[in-house]
Amino acid sequence: MVQLTFPDNSVREFSAGVTGREIAEGISKSLAKKAVAVALDGELGDLSDRIERDAKIEIVTRDDPRALGLIRHDAAHVMAEAVQELYPGTQVTIGPVIENGFYYDFFRNQPFTLDDLPAIEAKMREIIQRNAPFTKEVWSRDQAKSVFEKKGEAFKVELVDAIPADQDVKIYKQGDWFDLCRGPHMASTGQIGSAFRLMRVAGAYWRGDPTKPMLSRIYGTAWHNEEELKAYLHMLEEAEKRDHRRLGREMDLFHFQEEGPGVVFWHPKGWTMFQELVAYMRRRLRGTYQEVNAPQLLDKSLWETSGHWQTFREAMFKAQPAGDEIDDNDRVYAIKPMNCPGHIQIFKHGLKSYRDLPLRLAEFGAVHRYEPSGALHGLMRVRGFTQDDAHIFCTEEQMAAECLKINDLIISTYADFGFTEMVVKLSTRPEKRVGTDEAWDHAEAVMMDVLKQIEAQSGGRIKTGINPGEGAFYGPKFEYVLRDAIGRDWQCGTTQVDFNLPGRFGAYYIDKDGEKKTPVMIHRAICGSMERFLGILIENYAGHLPLWLAPTQVVVATITSDADDYAAAVAEKLRRAGIRADLDLRNEKINYKVREHSLVKVPVILVCGKREAEEGTVNVRRLGQKDQQSMSLTDALVALQEEATPPDVKRLEAEAA
RNA sequence: GCUGCCGUAGCUCAGUGGUAGAGCACUCCCUUGGUAAGGGAGAGGUCGACAGUUCAAUCCUGUCCGGCAGCACCA
């Protein structure tokens, strides 16, 4: 007998080997019909699984949130069946559930195209209509391998070999079609329902390995019901609308062109945002960091010393004199891909004492990396970008305190942009690394301790995690991942402890005892790449930037030319108050002007007509709002000036008051 | 870099084996209109680049460049 505890805490006895399906049927017919799986002590399993031990049991119905993964997984299987039915000879590989959906990778000489999807989707609906039950069998390895070999499924044979020895080789059948799968699955294909859609096709390497064959992947999305599917598709549309590449063009912020793949042409408005962001960061560094600027072009030897030339040469730009007649035109320079070697040179220049530590050098350093062409993506991944970089030279004892200080800076910076949800992850030693195990043990212990403090300090707002083996080759690191307004995660900030570079470059300081010591170096970035961070901000705000960041903060627009002089005076006063204001005196209707400035997302339009000119008022129209507000020019000036004050400056003013 | 798709006016896109079109934007004229497009006229393109096939290529083929979606990469 087994004792099973139900969600209402009632405990009932069943004979061992009872199945979830039998239990559900025993409770009610309707439950049995709705049931798609069973959860034993929280772990999902098939309704047909025999229950041989005491456990907490739940009958999982189709509308349970946990069923969504099953719906998607089953949909992947059905898609594979549909594909093999339509395109005989296509080999199946793997088909997992992913965020918002599923995919299945196929091997076929001719990759799938978007045009193939409607037929596959129709076939899937047909298979779902058939409503064949999912049944499970456990096969021996040899049996599984020989069956898949006979079917010509070479990839499946490889997968059977990859299953750990202590796990069963499970085969799931749906009608005549079957697949190697760890399960679980729902009761029958009909339970998938109709709220799914095939989305796109893409190439993907077998097992993620570029040396292995390219497979043809089909992505799909699947949901509990049509409403959820519709909501998801709507969310995708919203994301597309706030695509920073589109907004960048529409708002005239920047552009790219063929001659400069992956490098940004910043237009006046975009550059205003950029500079506003840099100015913000500079204010945040004031009093703590010293800003420096290291050369763009440095002899190759420096990059050999740092190790970049050996490790990242493929991703670096080299430069040489272009003239044929120049004596040393065999001398090779590299355009900097990082700022650290430069900063170490600055540290090394002049003897440093332990009293100088921690020494914090910051730079808005423009770096260039030859990113793979397929990786380029608007501002998010470029070949030339500006890091809000800093290197802190300190002692090992100072390391933990420095990491916490950086943490405070990063968290408060993100908060100023409205990012309050974030995750800090500790990346630990990778396989390829430098430094002794003792040094890594020590560094990881220190950082683990810091991580705990970060979590404790945050009062639960910040989640923490560990990425094993993801550290840099020279030391462990923290990664700061923020969540934007539509729930997407972006890794931006990073704090990396480095035991390697200072020693390689022979950097040292004179310690209390008069001995030379090698400092620890901490690399840190907050925005990471200013370009990318701006891209994230544009998407996060959907172009509706807070006033302090908006390139054009106010447009003063006239209704008739009678108000031209007054409007010009208003614009002038705004400018004197430090507000970025444009003047629109064109001979156009106010409708036209409002529409045009609204489309480029100007936050505030001050409409001035005859009435305003006579009364000394302005009519305030905010972006996205239909109603207007009339107020005196003086009041408007004060209010706008207040609103246009960056959040950090507001804080300082509040403290001073 | 790999796979697939794409490249026509500043933008969004039609189109054809016989050297091109629309809407918006732009310029000029008329219009002075109270909160998301007033009317008219005009200008604007070596159809991504280079080769090939053809009497003839923007269209077909190839190579290259660039973009998009994934994959891989990201010091």
Domain identity same for A134 and A186 = yes
Q: pLDDT digit string (tens) for A565-575?
A: 999 999 999 99
Mark A151-173 as b/e (b = at least 16 C-beta within 10 Å): eebebbbebbeeeeeeeebbbbb
Domain identity same for A559 and A501 = no
Per the annotation, the verdict on A182 as an active-site residue is: no
CATH assignment of the domain containing A227: 3.30.980.10
A113 Cβ within 7 A of any nucleic strand B atom? yes
Q: Tell me which of A170, A523, A593, A621 is the catalytic residue.
A: A523
Domain identity same for A55 and A73 = no
Asked whether residue A244 is assigned to any structural domain, the reply reads no
Domain identity same for A288 and A311 = yes
User: What confidence tier does A472 reach under pLDDT thresholds 50, 70, 90?
Assistant: confident
A303 Cβ within 7 A of any nucleic strand B atom? no
Sign of CA dihedral A187, A189, A191, A196: positive
Averaged pLDDT for residues A634-657: 96
A595 Cβ within 7 A of any nucleic strand B atom? yes
With CA of A216 and C1' of each nucleotide, the nearest comes out as: B3
Domain identity same for A279 and A403 = yes
CA–C1' distance A204–B52 (Å)? 34
User: What confidence tier does A394 reach under pLDDT thresholds 50, 70, 90?
Assistant: very high
With CA of A375 and C1' of each nucleotide, the nearest comes out as: B73
List phi, psi (to 5°) of A45.
-145, 175
- Checking if the pLDDT of A474 tops 90, the result is no
A561 Cβ within 7 A of any nucleic strand B atom? yes
List phi, psi (to 5°) of A254.
-165, 170
A437 Cβ within 7 A of any nucleic strand B atom? no
With CA of A629 and C1' of each nucleotide, the nearest comes out as: B35
Task: Show which positions of strand B are touched by protein (CB under 7 A).
Answer: 1-5, 7, 11-12, 30-38, 65-75
Among residues A613, A518, A627, the alpha carbon closest in space to that of A558 is found at A613
Domain count, chain A: 4
A278 Cβ within 7 A of any nucleic strand B atom? no
**Are residues A196 and A221 in contact, defined by beta-carbon separation less than 8 angstroms?**
yes
* d(C-alpha A178, C-alpha A138), whole Å: 12
A472 Cβ within 7 A of any nucleic strand B atom? yes
Averaged pLDDT for residues A175-184: 92
Structure tokens at A166: 């202590």
Per the annotation, the verdict on A477 as an active-site residue is: yes
DSSP A330: T
Q: Which residue minimizes Cα–C1' distance to B67?
A: A258
Per the annotation, the verdict on A389 as an active-site residue is: yes
Domain identity same for A475 and A343 = yes
pLDDT at residue A110 in the model: 85
> Last residue of a domain, which of A512, A540, A568?
A540
Domain identity same for A435 and A525 = yes
Q: Report CA-CA distances (Å) from A364 to A280, A281, A501, A522, A534.
A: 12, 9, 20, 16, 14
A633 Cβ within 7 A of any nucleic strand B atom? no
Per the annotation, the verdict on A50 as an active-site residue is: no
- Checking if the pLDDT of A165 tops 90, the result is no
Q: pLDDT digit string (tens) for A526-580?
A: 999 999 999 999 999 999 999 999 999 999 999 999 999 999 999 999 999 999 9
A276 Cβ within 7 A of any nucleic strand B atom? no
Averaged pLDDT for residues A456-473: 88
CB-based burial label for A312 (10 Å; 0-12, 13-18, 19+): middle
User: What confidence tier does A188 reach under pLDDT thresholds 50, 70, 90?
Assistant: very high
pLDDT at residue A157 in the model: 94
CA–C1' distance A178–B72 (Å)? 30
Percent of chain A surpassing pLDDT 70? 100
**3-class state of residue A231 by DSSP:** helix
Per the annotation, the verdict on A416 as an active-site residue is: no
Q: Which residue has the tokens 């049509």?
A: A226
Structure tokens at A419: 């990012």
Asked whether residue A522 is assigned to any structural domain, the reply reads yes
- Checking if the pLDDT of A323 tops 90, the result is no
Asked whether residue A548 is assigned to any structural domain, the reply reads no
As a whole number, the mean pLDDT across chain A is 94
Asked whether residue A279 is assigned to any structural domain, the reply reads yes
**Are residues A623 and A607 in contact, defined by beta-carbon separation less than 8 angstroms?**
no
**Are residues A523 and A581 in contact, defined by beta-carbon separation less than 8 angstroms?**
no
pLDDT at residue A111 in the model: 87
A86 Cβ within 7 A of any nucleic strand B atom? no
Q: Tell me which of A340, A403, A492, A527 is the catalytic residue.
A: A340
Structure tokens at A340: 């650290």
pLDDT at residue A539 in the model: 96
With CA of A303 and C1' of each nucleotide, the nearest comes out as: B75
A211 Cβ within 7 A of any nucleic strand B atom? no
Q: pLDDT digit string (tens) for A285-308?
A: 999 999 999 999 999 999 999 989
User: What confidence tier does A76 reach under pLDDT thresholds 50, 70, 90?
Assistant: very high
**3-class state of residue A417 by DSSP:** coil
> Which residue range forms the structural domain that includes residue A640?
554-652
* d(C-alpha A230, C-alpha A240), whole Å: 15
A562 Cβ within 7 A of any nucleic strand B atom? yes
Domain identity same for A162 and A300 = no
Domain identity same for A28 and A131 = no
Per the annotation, the verdict on A340 as an active-site residue is: yes
A425 forms beta bridges with: A465, A479
Q: pLDDT digit string (tens) for A594-641?
A: 999 999 999 999 999 999 999 999 999 999 999 999 999 999 999 999
Q: pLDDT digit string (tens) for A515-525?
A: 999 999 999 99
Q: Return chain A residues 138..197 having CB < 7 Å to nucleic acid strand B.
A: none
User: What confidence tier does A272 reach under pLDDT thresholds 50, 70, 90?
Assistant: very high
Asked whether residue A153 is assigned to any structural domain, the reply reads yes
pLDDT at residue A434 in the model: 79
Q: CA A171, A175, A180 angle in degrees (round to 5)?
A: 20
> Last residue of a domain, which of A211, A237, A263?
A237
Query: By mean pLDDT, which of A451-455, A505-509, A530-534, A601-605 is the weakest?
Result: A451-455
CATH assignment of the domain containing A22: 3.10.20.30
pLDDT at residue A186 in the model: 96
Domain identity same for A160 and A289 = no
* d(C-alpha A628, C-alpha A447), whole Å: 53
- Checking if the pLDDT of A327 tops 80, the result is no
**Are residues A86 and A120 in contact, defined by beta-carbon separation less than 8 angstroms?**
yes
Q: pLDDT digit string (tens) for A208-246?
A: 999 999 999 999 999 999 999 999 998 888 888 999 999
Q: Taking the CA atoms of chain A, what radius of gyration do you get in angstroms?
A: 31
Q: Return chain A residues 502..541 having CB < 7 Å to nucleic acid strand B.
A: 523
Asked whether residue A243 is assigned to any structural domain, the reply reads no
Mark A103-138 as b/e (b = at least 16 C-beta within 10 Å): bbbbbeeebbeeebbeebbebbeebbeeebbbbbee
pLDDT at residue A487 in the model: 87
- Checking if the pLDDT of A329 tops 80, the result is no
Q: Which residue minimizes Cα–C1' distance to B48?
A: A258
User: What confidence tier does A432 reach under pLDDT thresholds 50, 70, 90?
Assistant: confident
**3-class state of residue A508 by DSSP:** coil
Asked whether residue A546 is assigned to any structural domain, the reply reads no
CA–C1' distance A249–B22 (Å)? 22
- Checking if the pLDDT of A85 tops 80, the result is yes
* d(C-alpha A603, C-alpha A543), whole Å: 10
Q: Residues 6 or more apart from A522 whose CB is under 8 A from it?
A: A391, A392, A394, A399, A402, A403, A406, A495, A496, A497, A498
Domain identity same for A300 and A419 = yes
**3-class state of residue A588 by DSSP:** coil
Structure tokens at A300: 């190759």
A433 Cβ within 7 A of any nucleic strand B atom? no
Averaged pLDDT for residues A432-461: 88
The CA-based dihedral angle spanning residues A458, A460, A463, A465, taken in that order and rounded to the nearest 10 degrees: 90
With CA of A340 and C1' of each nucleotide, the nearest comes out as: B75
pLDDT at residue A517 in the model: 96
Q: Residues 6 or more apart from A474 whose CB is under 8 A from it?
A: A433, A434, A435, A496, A498, A499, A500, A501
pLDDT at residue A147 in the model: 95
Among residues A196, A252, A251, A206, the alpha carbon closest in space to that of A228 is found at A196
Asked whether residue A421 is assigned to any structural domain, the reply reads yes
Among residues A549, A562, A542, the alpha carbon closest in space to that of A646 is found at A549
Among residues A298, A304, A314, the alpha carbon closest in space to that of A367 is found at A298
* d(C-alpha A258, C-alpha A302), whole Å: 32
* d(C-alpha A15, C-alpha A53), whole Å: 10
Whole-complex ipTM: 0.95
CA–C1' distance A573–B65 (Å)? 50
A316 Cβ within 7 A of any nucleic strand B atom? yes
CA–C1' distance A304–B56 (Å)? 58
User: What confidence tier does A166 reach under pLDDT thresholds 50, 70, 90?
Assistant: confident
A252 Cβ within 7 A of any nucleic strand B atom? no
pLDDT at residue A230 in the model: 92
With CA of A217 and C1' of each nucleotide, the nearest comes out as: B70
A372 Cβ within 7 A of any nucleic strand B atom? yes
Q: Which residue minimizes Cα–C1' distance to B7?
A: A258
Domain identity same for A294 and A366 = yes
In terms of residues, how long is chain A?
A: 657
Per the annotation, the verdict on A343 as an active-site residue is: no
pLDDT at residue A325 in the model: 80
> Last residue of a domain, which of A41, A61, A81?
A61
Q: Tell me which of A284, A391, A425, A524 is the catalytic residue.
A: A391
CATH assignment of the domain containing A637: 3.40.50.800
Q: Tell me which of A84, A387, A496, A553 is the catalytic residue.
A: A387
Residue A602 has a CB neighbour count (10 Å cut-off) of: 26
- Checking if the pLDDT of A44 tops 90, the result is yes
User: What confidence tier does A457 reach under pLDDT thresholds 50, 70, 90?
Assistant: confident
